[in-house]
Amino acid sequence: MTNRTSELDRLVADERREAELWRYDVLGHAPGRELQALVEIAAQISAVPTAAINIVTSTTQQQLATTGFTPAICAREDAMCAAVLDQPERVVVPDAREDERFRDNPFVSGALSRVRFYASSPLTTPTGVIIGRLCVFDFKPRHLDEAQQDALVAIAERVVDVLELRLRSRELEDSLAQLTETRDELRRSNEALSVFAGQISHDLRTPLTAIMASTEMLGQQPSVVQDEWAERLVATAFRSATRMAGMIEQILAHARVGAQLRTVPTDVGAVVASVLEDLEPTLLARNAQVTVGALPIVDSDDQQLYSVLLNLLSNAVKYARPGVPPVIEVSAERRDTSWRISVQDNGIGIPTAEHDRVFGLFKRVETSVDGSGIGLATVKRIVEAHGGRIGISPVDGPGTTVWFEMPHAPTPRP
C-alpha cells in the first residue's frame, strides 16, 4: 500500500511539473544569454569546471544551459538531479561514490561518466513546484564552503526569475496582440456601424419626410381644422414623426463619433457662448440663469465639443424641477494633464445608483420628461474618443453636476 501511495504521489507531482513546464515553454529552445551567464557564474563561484541547468520531465532530463560540456538529454532514471529532484533544499555531495543515492548511478560508476563531486539547488517556481535543479559537478572530490552554497541557492532562484520574466513577457506580448486585434475589430465594427447607420438613416428619412410633409399639409385642410378630434390626431402624428426624425439623427451622430477627429486648440468659452446663443429662446422661455466661469483652451474637435456642451446644457434646462427656474453654472478645474469642465444645475437630479448607467446607449432615468437615451451615450463616446473621461459628481441638495475631462492644448512654441 505504501509503494502504491508513493507512486500516486509521484504521478501527481509529475503532472504538476509538466503543467509548469508547459507554462514556461522552456524545452527545445536556445538557452539565452541570461541563463548561460547564470550557469557560468555558478561554475565560477563553485570553482568547478562544469555546471548545468537541468529540467526534469516525467521521462527525461533536459539541459537548458551548460558550461564545460554540450547540453544533452538523458533518461530520467539515469539523471543524478532526478535522484534528488524533490529535495526542497540544496544538496552537496563531496564524493558521489560514498553516497548511496549516487553510488550506482551511471554518471558515477563509469557507465556514462565518472562524476565525483556533485552539488545542486532546486528550481522552485512561485507556485512551489520543483521543475529541475541547478547543479555543479567535478570529476574529483571537493567541498563547498557556506558562502559558495548560499551563492548556489541564490543563482538557482535567479534562474527561476529569468523563466518567470520570460513567461510574463510572453503573456504581455500575447495580451498586446489580443488588444491590437480587438482594437482593429472594434474599428472595423465602428466603420460598419457608421455605414449601417447612414444607410438606415437614409432609408428611413425619405419615407419619414413624406409622412411629415403629408401630415403637415393634412393639418391645414379645412375639414381637419374644423374637426377638433381629427386635428388632434394629425398633430400627434406630426409630433411623433418629428420626434422619430430627431432620434434617427441622434443615432447617426452616435455612430459617427470618433470616426474623424480633427483636434485643434479650442477655446471652451467660445464654444459655450455659441451654445448659449443657440439655446437663447429656450433659456428665455424657462427663465434660466446661466453663470459661466473662466474656461480654458483644450485640444479637441470644436464641432464635437459643441455637441457635448449643447447636450449637457440642454439637459440642465430640460430636466429642471417643476416651477423652479433653472440655475446653471459652467466651470473648469485644471488637472495634471487635462481640464475638468463641469456643468452644474439645480434640476431634478440623477440618483447615485444611476450615475454610470445613464451613459449607456438607450439608458435613461425614469422621469416625467421624455428622452431618447442616446444623448449622454453620444457625449461619452465623444469624450472618450478624445482620450478623456466623463462622470457625475454628487451635489449638496437638488441638481446634478456632470463633468468631463479634455487634454490640455499643446503650448505653442516661440
- Give the residue from 166, 123, 154 showing the smallest Cα distance to 33: 166
Radius of gyration of the CA atoms of the chain, in A: 37
Question: Looking up cell 570529476, which residue turns up?
Answer: 139
**Considering the domain 2-172 in this protein, what is its CATH number?**
3.30.450.40
pLDDT attached to residue 369: 43
Please give the Cα distance from 55 to 63 (Å, whole number): 6
Q: Which residue has the cell 457662448?
A: 273
Domains 2-172 and 261-407 share a fold: no
Q: Which residues contact residue 299 at a Cβ distance below 8 angstroms, ignoring those fewer than 6 apart?
A: 263, 264, 265, 266, 386, 406, 407, 408, 409, 410
- Cα gap 74→83, rounded to integer Å: 13
**In a 10 Å sphere around its CB, with 0-12 CB exposed, 13-18 middle and 19+ buried, how is residue 377 labelled?**
buried
Give the alpha-carbon dihedral of 96, 108, 136, 46, to 10 degrees: 50
Q: Are 321 and 348 in contact (CB under 8 A)?
A: yes
**What is the CATH architecture assignment of 261-407?**
2-Layer Sandwich (3.30)
Q: Is 128 helix (H, G, I), strand (E, B) or coil?
A: coil
Could you report the average pLDDT of every consecutive run of 10 residues in the chain (414 residues)? 62 83 81 88 94 92 92 92 92 95 93 94 92 95 94 93 88 83 73 62 66 78 78 74 64 56 87 88 89 92 84 88 90 89 87 68 46 67 86 79 83 46
Distance CA 355, CA 363 (A): 11
Instruction: Determine how β-strand 130-138 pairs with β-strand 50-56.
Output: antiparallel
Are 406 and 386 contacting, i.e. CB atoms less than 8 angstroms apart?
Answer: yes
Phi, psi of 266 (to 5 degrees): -125, 130
Closest listed residue to residue 348, CA positions, set 331, 373, 371, 367:
367
Q: Can you read off the three cell numbers belonging to residue 149? A: 552554497
What are the residue ranges spanned by the domains of the chain? Answer: 2-172, 178-239, 261-407
Residues contacting 277, CB < 8 A, separation 6+ = none
Distance CA 200, CA 202 (A): 5
> Which residue in this structure is represented by grid cell 539547488?
121
Separation between Cα atoms, residue 135 and residue 156, nearest integer Å:
9
pTM of the model: 0.49
Torsion, Cα 46 51 55 57, to 10 degrees, reads: -110
